Structure 1
């Protein structure tokens, strides 16, 4: 359990310095649609959720004239409230009840969130309603909380806690900004200090919203793939051109909000499953948009020059003492993700959004864009006149249509398939690996391949931490970024290209966890058969081999198991000369299953002595290392286990086999 104090994050400092009538009245509210649930089980799940996420216990304390985060050891848990829809005179009455619970928020004493289960609807469905103070939550956290609550309700265990909000706060305050990064932000800050005025605010903030059709949204996404730009870059280009038309010759400076969970801050930390408000902001100058085609290229180039996705600006300057551009832009991406039929669904019930005291924003105009149910929503909250706000939305939509038309023309002229362009886009914008080399590291390089549902960060706080003297290249998950690869052989080619740039020839050392082990095996085959390489170390961490055959043999359909939709090979034996072949096998069954099909597959591999690797390679060539008391996932948090694994790996890397 995290206890004690921590410095505020820059975004929290900015919030507490704003001129807000009531600091308690700023919160995220969302609802999940479910079938009728077991209330007792849901109460237990809500309690366990609070124990999992330390942010629920966070309070704000005043110290020496300033604020700090405080995590007390003992607080009263927030209880699940139960409402029956039929007991209220309409949805307005439900909203009043929810508003009352929100009014009890207190940033110093707590609570900072409320949760309710609302059932008794005519359609037989129910809602789980959350309201959480902005100080402890961001949009990324929504998905984390939804996933964790459903996992707990279904009686399954969560992963061990990821890095805490308190750890991240200390890492932010200890982050050392490079001279190049500081020089970049110094120039931007000077430009921001002389902001050219856009239309002056004329009235209280009003909200304007526009929703693109599903067809138009899909066309926009396809346009990005064809033109080799991201949706974020398209939207910024559309916004920049619109701002220019609203006021000619104005400098299109905007404040961009990002998720803020940048690995560069501290590569030993993993915040991918941590609840909190991590948001970062930075000023960005949108280049003049002469035409859409050149505008896209200029925005893409300029956006990719931003160091470390802008995380350093708030660390250097904060968001209070120096003026930020008065137009802010946030692209949240897709808020609802594809789910199975029994998953809980994020819904936007207006009756479950209680009346809010909308705080005064530091910006004149906030543009927030997201997609839900396959449709893109452009939301503008502005103090401009209604005419200027409507004009901004209309101009942005017109510019989006120009991008779609441009992409269509390109596709006709070039005859280029969208999928192939998507592969190019993904590879150019994707960070493929992290390299750990140089003093005191020495010896051969160990290449680490990622598991199916994670990237390079999966290894940062375990193997990377325990191999401080070994040269490492840790790969990100290219499949999650670009799903155009149809086979493991195709996917392996991507990694193989990077591996041979580091090491054109010689003896190679490969390691993979889960899916990464299958990739490591395929890469080893290609290195030997096509490039004349030798394999020194080939290490697998609880990889499930020959899964297509196993799934068919036990009668489980592919749809009943969560695996990448790749055609897997290795259905026959493999002849490879390998100096050191090791399988680190979990001793406990993988309990992180989502369906009955997954449970049966995991049960099979739990009973298989070599995870079916011995159907491909003679078992007397395999060094089997049992990971005592660990599952497929838990080993990453077992310091002793990881230490022993790394000791063996170092022995293999340093050995010389004749």
Structure 2
């Protein structure tokens, strides 16, 4: 994960390190270290991270993409290096900008809405010579993890097992010429396709559909995906109206743990769960012509998504935190397609930031994301991994879809 932020013109290296240290000391996951044996995380006490050693000065931003890649390469979870900071040299009357690179183990997209305002708040206090005091964190990542582990073994949660088995047990016709091989299908062999939707489609997706069908943009995108897969398969002689999709959610489903508050917790809370979308009975030709069948398919998919318990969080609990149910679910093949709707975002939307400490997208990236290593079999489970987002531009919101595919 990466973001570029403006720096105030009167900041120097000492004050910058003090500001960054205050935020690192406040958020546990930024001080964590990955244990090599069981993959757990151990958190160091505040003050144990040498933030000055994580800061690098760079001249100008012409090499910002190379600096991003180099910073990502310096991350070392097992050594406790979860963050890197690159300070691009200031110009006339400015202090330049700061590239913040975080390992995905310790931050997700929601975390930026906590970190950037906290940086601004810490700087305001450091600037005045005061020790920074930041708003408290509600539920720590540690407490959340322990609560989910306990929840995974409750009778009510275990009762979801038949639902998830039914989702996974249906057909999932092979999309490519072969199943993915983690030895061959790595990040280095991906083909990435980016599609920017035209204004007319954007207006329909973000305004017309939600108003007419009482749905969200994700419902419309997934209905379109389900229809496209059914049509694609029909053209190849495969009669299958349902599709199995791995959906990603933000995972901060506080209702699962009563009393929890993750609004200010930095960490990686993403949930991934299978969903079966079925457009059986839909007249595909009519739907693709924009007829009533398209609306019917959207309503069907919307209701199927609404029926998923707790927005899918229970699947991960039963698959990975409950040994008995995990053995059952582990027998099924993973979906071939992964889908993630990143939502509508703009750096200007970050609460508590404007001007100084305002966030920008990272160099050469369409979202605040740094690349995995080329040999990483990150996508080995999915034939296609599609992420969609809506970025606000000068001309208004522009939906885009980025689909890394196995070559």
The two structures share one fold, judged by TM-score above 0.5: yes
Deviation of 1:257 after TM superposition, in Å, equals 0.4
Deviation of 1:306 after TM superposition, in Å, equals 0.3
Go from structure 1 to structure 2 and tell me whether the alpha carbon gap of 1:299 and 1:105 turns closer, same or farther (over 3 Å shift): same
Larger RCO: 1 or 2 (CA < 8 Å, sep 6+): 2
Are 1:346 and 2:359 counterparts? yes
Cross-structure match for 1:317: 319
State how far apart, in whole Å, the 1-side matches of 2:252 and 2:310 are: 11
State how far apart, in whole Å, the 1-side matches of 2:256 and 2:158 are: 15
Alignment of 1:399-478 (within 5 A): none
Deviation of 1:354 after TM superposition, in Å, equals 7.3
Unaligned 5+ segments in structure 2 are 126-131, 284-292, 321-325
Contact conserved, 1:36 with 1:119, CA < 8 A, in 2?
no
Alignment of 1:59-458 (within 5 A): 59-63=33-37, 66-73=38-45, 75-79=48-52, 81-86=55-60, 91-92=62-63, 94-120=64-90, 126-155=96-125, 157-175=133-151, 176=154, 177-178=156-157, 180-191=159-170, 194-200=171-177, 204-213=189-198, 216-223=201-208, 224-248=210-234, 249-250=239-240, 251-288=242-279, 289-290=282-283, 291-318=293-320, 321=330, 322-336=332-346, 337-338=348-349, 341-342=354-355, 344-350=357-363, 356-358=372-374, 359-360=376-377, 361=379, 362-373=381-392, 374-383=397-406
SS of the aligned residue for 2:246 comes to: strand
Contact conserved, 1:332 with 1:369, CA < 8 A, in 2?
yes
State how far apart, in whole Å, the 1-side matches of 2:80 and 2:336 are: 32
Q: How big is each residue's C-alpha offset from its partner over 1:345-401, in whole Å with a ceiling of 9 and x where there is no partner?
A: 4323535887752432121111101122222121100015xxxxxxxxxxxxxxxxx
State how far apart, in whole Å, the 1-side matches of 2:8 and 2:22 are: 21
Cross-structure match for 1:48: 22
Q: How big is each residue's C-alpha offset from its partner over 1:11-43, in whole Å with a ceiling of 9 and x where there is no partner?
A: xxxxxxxxxxxxxxxxx1222245535134332
Q: How big is each residue's C-alpha offset from its partner over 1:404-431, in whole Å with a ceiling of 9 and x where there is no partner?
A: xxxxxxxxxxxxxxxxxxxxxxxxxxxx
Alignment of 1:578-597 (within 5 A): none
State how far apart, in whole Å, the 2-side matches of 1:37 and 1:269 are: 39
| Larger Rg computed on CA atoms | 1
Q: How big is each residue's C-alpha offset from its partner over 1:496-536, in whole Å with a ceiling of 9 and x where there is no partner?
A: xxxxxxxxxxxxxxxxxxxxxxxxxxxxxxxxxxxxxxxxx
Are 1:31 and 2:4 counterparts? yes
Deviation of 1:238 after TM superposition, in Å, equals 0.9
TM-score, L = length of structure 1: 0.49
Contact conserved, 1:96 with 1:354, CA < 8 A, in 2?
no
Paired residue total: 349
Contact conserved, 1:162 with 1:274, CA < 8 A, in 2?
yes
Deviation of 1:343 after TM superposition, in Å, equals 5.8
Unaligned 5+ segments in structure 1 are 1-27, 385-658
Q: How big is each residue's C-alpha offset from its partner over 1:108-160, in whole Å with a ceiling of 9 and x where there is no partner?
A: 22211111222335895732211111111111112211121122122274211
Deviation of 1:218 after TM superposition, in Å, equals 4.0
Q: Which moved more, 1:373-382 or 1:354-363?
A: 354-363
Go from structure 1 to structure 2 and tell me whether the alpha carbon gap of 1:332 and 1:125 turns closer, same or farther (over 3 Å shift): farther
Cross-structure match for 1:496: none
Go from structure 1 to structure 2 and tell me whether the alpha carbon gap of 1:335 and 1:42 turns closer, same or farther (over 3 Å shift): farther
State how far apart, in whole Å, the 1-side matches of 2:256 and 2:76 are: 31
How well do the aligned residues superpose, as a CA RMSD in angstroms? 2.8
TM-score, L = length of structure 2: 0.77
